[in-house]
Structure 1
Amino acid sequence: MPAFSIYEKPNQPLEQTIDEAVMVAHRFSYLIFLVPAIWMLIKRLWLPLLAYILVSVGLALLDGLIPLWTSMLVSLIIAIWIAAEAPNLMGWALKRRGYEEVGLIYADNLEHCEARYIHARTHPADLMSTGSDGSGDPNNPNLLPWQEPKTPSVMPTQKDQDQPVIGLFPTSENA
């Protein structure tokens, strides 16, 4: 079941927020793999398109200096990377346009995702009544079912800062 990131414009009435919400599917796209430049043009991803064009022109200029298979391999890797990272590129562009990522919904297709999103936004009390199945947090009625609770950032204590950290885990005196 694919996942869909939900992007909303902040500080708008509920009806307008629902109308302007954008759902971005997280999946590999063969169409983007085949024609990444045209996809970036259609989606108005100008900065990634500029970077793609610069890399393509750079590869074309190096045509006589590097073997043909190397140029083809680099082009193939770039096309695979763009097709795999397309949802993140879309999310980045939406954030630049003032949208905020508010959550993630698992749905069969876009219509199912839209139905689940509209139901969650218009009937949050229905989803908050059951918290054991992961559909919401009954302790926090403002938390929608796809949102994670925000955890406070943890600052190291002075005792932790005095000792060097070796590897990923700092040592403890009691351990």
Structure 2
Amino acid sequence: MASYVVLEPPSDGLGARPEGARLIRDGFSWFAFIVPPLWLLWHRLWFAAVAAIIVLGVLSALGESRGLGLTGALLTLLVSLYFGLEGQALRIAGLRRAGWTEWGIVEAEDLTDAETRYAFGLGRDEGIAAATEPLPTIVPAANPARTVQTGMALGLSHPGRH
């Protein structure tokens, strides 16, 4: 099962569930790995796209001018790997800066299942109900059962004195 982060747009103050919520899959993005600048531009992450273009251009030029072809290619691969792994987190951070709020996380098989779970309110309410119920005590506390020993002891510390 995949995890989807649900972000709701800035509310109008009426308290109703907004219609334009976005569900972003938390995981590796192949398109962001293959062509990071295009993926960043597609998701309107302008500053990150410009930074990616500059970094990838500098690494490519440095690799060709210094004769470090393999090193430049590996560093470029490392930058692409970063955007593949952290691209979705960059999207979530960009939406948060724009005023979107995080509703919660929904676990589902695919996007349509995640949208259905979000529409019916599954995910966040289950966690809140489980958190409000008191947890049973499985193992009693060890402090009342332990007796204080007085008398002679071997070693550097005495068990009865702390």
Aligned length: 132
> Matched residue of 1:24: which SS?
strand
Counterpart in the other structure of 1:28: 28
**What is the alpha-carbon root mean square deviation over aligned residues?**
2.6
Deviating beyond 2 angstroms after TM superposition, the runs of 4 or more aligned structure 1 residues are 9-16
Counterpart in the other structure of 1:70: 71
Counterpart in the other structure of 2:100: 99
- TM-aligned CA distance change 1:139 to 1:55, over 3 Å: closer
What is the letter of the counterpart of residue 32 of structure 1? A
1:14 is displaced (CA, Å) by 5.1
What is the letter of the counterpart of residue 120 of structure 2? H
2:130 & 2:65 partners in 1: Cα distance? Answer: 64
1:108 & 1:82 partners in 2: Cα distance? Answer: 24
> Matched residue of 2:106: which SS?
strand
Kept after mapping to 1: 8 A contact 2:60/2:73: no
1:99 is displaced (CA, Å) by 0.4
The structure number with the bigger radius of gyration is 2
1:75 is displaced (CA, Å) by 0.5
1:84 & 1:5 partners in 2: Cα distance? Answer: 15
- TM-aligned CA distance change 1:60 to 1:119, over 3 Å: same
Structure 1 unpaired stretches of 5+: 129-133, 141-173
1:110-164 alpha-carbon deviations (Å, 9 max, x no partner): 111111001018xx9xx86xxxxx5432786xxxxxxxxxxxxxxxxxxxxxxxx
Query: What TM-score results when the alignment is normalised by the length of structure 1?
Result: 0.66
> Matched residue of 1:95: which SS?
helix
2:32 & 2:95 partners in 1: Cα distance? Answer: 18
Counterpart in the other structure of 2:144: none
Kept after mapping to 1: 8 A contact 2:29/2:88: no
1:7-64 alpha-carbon deviations (Å, 9 max, x no partner): 11243345551x1111100121222211111111111110110110110222133231
1:139 & 1:44 partners in 2: Cα distance? Answer: 37
What is the letter of the counterpart of residue 136 of structure 1? I
State how 1:11-160 maps to structure 2 within 5 Å: 11-12=11-12, 13=14, 15=16, 17=18, 19-62=19-62, 63-65=64-66, 67-120=68-121, 134-137=126-129
> Matched residue of 2:121: which SS?
helix
Structure 2 unpaired stretches of 5+: 133-160
What is the letter of the counterpart of residue 137 of structure 1? A
> Matched residue of 1:120: which SS?
coil
Fraction of identical pairs, as percent:
26
Query: What TM-score results when the alignment is normalised by the length of structure 2?
Result: 0.71
